[in-house]
């Protein structure tokens, strides 16, 4: 079996290496010629996963046509803000009637579409039944190191999710299937914004009590919006909800938490991002979350304070005061 991964960042590379367990050949597409050459000659992605050996079954390429030729499963591992452009360029070469898995955890700015909605928006209808999403607590480095990792694969068509599950199953990588495409994606996207908030609290030295409150109330925000959009609230207590949220808010490998920590120390967002090699999806998703709160009327107080700190120059201290002095209410009655 041949599979394809579009995107040679840390997670795309890690997933390609995992797919190589069950696939005879995995084609990995990337933009960087030096990176592609290094993967093919040294079997290592020294830019994003230094020190981790890649399977010789993983072959990198600069050509989308070559990457996708004859593929029986396609993974889209580009950042959410780049997905529309890459998919449009890949369309002439995309194989028909094969699973198309998105692993980006974001909500497109302006359109406010989830990644599966974005794919449906820019792909012909014949592709739509084969779209799936993979999400859950999965740092790329640990996945690449073969540390036990468990995720969720959601699709509207059960056979597609089951097909993806079978190909991805290894001794160290397990997945559960779901038909809640909406809930899985809102959990995966908004947890990044909450992780920035957790990082801000850590950067300010606010302690474990504050972090626990942010995780818990953050989950309440994510669940409110996901349910409003048609998601199952039980999904948000699972791997793509609580599981991913806890990991991203507490793990040392979390890019979004790292951004938050630097914001909590008083640094400017532009300076923080300039130092990062990889994308922190929560930065752009904070804008989408703020716009969704305004559009839907769903209260997302933590997400909106993250947006205000990142985009409007609000002080983290003032944001905390506003959150803590909001109108008292019952825990289960709303925001």
**Residues known to be catalytic:** 191
Q: Which two tokens stand for residue 93?
A: 């070469």
Distance (Å, whole) CA 81 – CA 283: 11
How far out from the chain centre does Cα 247 lie? 12
Buried/exposed code over 181-202 (b: 16+ C-beta within 10 A; e: otherwise): bbbbbbbbbbbbbbbbbbbbbb
Edge-to-edge strand ranges of the sheet holding 58-61? 58-61, 25-29, 2-6, 74-76, 100-102, 131-135, 149-155, 173-178
Q: What is the CA radius of gyration of the chain?
A: 19
Alpha-carbon distance of 11 to 25, in angstroms, equals: 18
Q: How far apart are CA 277 and CA 144, in angstroms?
A: 18
- Specify whether the CB–CB gap between 114 and 107 falls below 8 A: yes
What ranges in 80-154 are assigned the alpha helix state H? 80-90, 115-122, 140-144
Cβ neighbours for 318, distance < 8 A, ≥ 6 positions apart:
none
Which residues, 6+ apart, have CB-to-CB distance to 279 below 8 Å? 9, 79, 81, 255
| CA dist., res. 71 & res. 69, Å (int) | 6
């Amino acid at each position: 079996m041949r599979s394809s991964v579009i995107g040679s960042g840390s997670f795309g590379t890690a997933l390609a290496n995992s797919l190589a367990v069950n696939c005879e050949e995995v084609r990995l597409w990337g933009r960087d010629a030096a990176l592609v050459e290094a993967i093919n000659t040294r079997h290592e992605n020294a830019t994003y996963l230094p020190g981790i050996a890649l399977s010789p079954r993983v072959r990198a390429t600069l050509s989308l046509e070559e990457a996708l030729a004859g593929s029986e499963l396609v993974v889209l591992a580009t950042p959410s803000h780049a997905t529309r452009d890459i998919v449009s360029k890949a369309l002439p070469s995309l194989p028909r009637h094969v699973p198309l898995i998105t692993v980006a955890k974001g909500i497109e700015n302006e359109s406010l579409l989830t990644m599966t909605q974005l794919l449906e928006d820019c792909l012909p209808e014949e592709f739509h039944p084969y779209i799936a999403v993979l999400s859950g607590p999965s740092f790329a480095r640990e996945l690449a190191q073969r540390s036990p990792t468990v995720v969720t694969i959601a699709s509207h068509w059960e056979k597609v999710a089951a097909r993806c599950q079978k190909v991805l199953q290894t001794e160290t990588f397990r997945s559960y299937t779901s038909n809640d495409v909406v809930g899985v994606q809102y959990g995966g996207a908004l947890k990044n914004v909450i992780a920035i908030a957790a990082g801000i609290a850590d950067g300010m030295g606010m302690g474990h009590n504050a972090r626990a409150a942010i995780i818990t109330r953050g989950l309440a925000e994510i669940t409110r919006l996901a349910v409003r959009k048609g998601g199952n609230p039980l999904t948000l207590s699972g791997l793509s909800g609580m599981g991913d949220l806890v990991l991203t808010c507490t793990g040392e490998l979390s890019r979004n938490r790292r951004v938050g920590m630097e914001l909590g120390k008083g640094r400017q967002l532009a300076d923080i991002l300039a130092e990062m090699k990889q994308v922190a999806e929560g930065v752009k998703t904070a804008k989408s979350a703020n716009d969704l709160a305004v559009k839907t009327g769903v209260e997302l107080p933590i997400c909106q304070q993250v947006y205000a700190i990142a985009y409007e120059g609000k002080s983290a201290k003032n944001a905390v005061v506003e959150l803590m002095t909001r109108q008292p209410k019952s825990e289960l009655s709303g925001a």
